[in-house]
Structure 1
Amino acid sequence: MTTRSSKMVLSALRSVAMRRAVLPARRSFSTSPFLKEAAGSTLPAKKPVGAFRGGIFGFLTGTIVAGASVYYYVLGEYRVSNEMLTEDIYALQAATSKLQAYIGELETKVDQLKKK
Structure 2
Amino acid sequence: MFPRTPIFSLLRSAAKPVSVPVPARYFSTSPALKDAGSTLPAKKPVGAFRGGVLGFLAGSVTAGTLVYYYILQEYRTANEMLSEDIYALQLATQQLQSYVVELETKVDGLQKKK
TM-score calculated relative to the size of structure 1: 0.70
1:19 match: none
Residue 53 of structure 2 corresponds to residue 56 of structure 1: yes
Q: 2:29 aligns with which of 7, 25, 31?
A: 31
User: What's the C-alpha RMSD, in Å, of the aligned pairs?
Assistant: 1.9
**CA distance in 2 between partners of 1:82 and 1:50 (Å):** 47
Q: 2:83 aligns with which of 86, 89, 93?
A: 86
Q: Which runs of 5+ in 1 are unaligned?
A: 1-24
Would you identify which runs of 4 or more consecutive aligned residues in structure 1 move more than 6 Å?
none
1:11 match: none
Q: 2:99 aligns with which of 93, 97, 102?
A: 102
Q: Using CA pairs under 8 Å that are at least 6 residues apart, name the structure with larger relative contact order, 1 or 2.
A: 2
**Structure exhibiting the larger radius of gyration computed from Cα positions:** 1
Give the helix-richer structure, 1 or 2.
Answer: 1
Percent of aligned pairs with the same amino acid: 73
The CA deviation at 1:41 is 3.0
TM-score calculated relative to the size of structure 2: 0.71
Q: Which runs of 5+ in 2 are unaligned?
A: 1-23
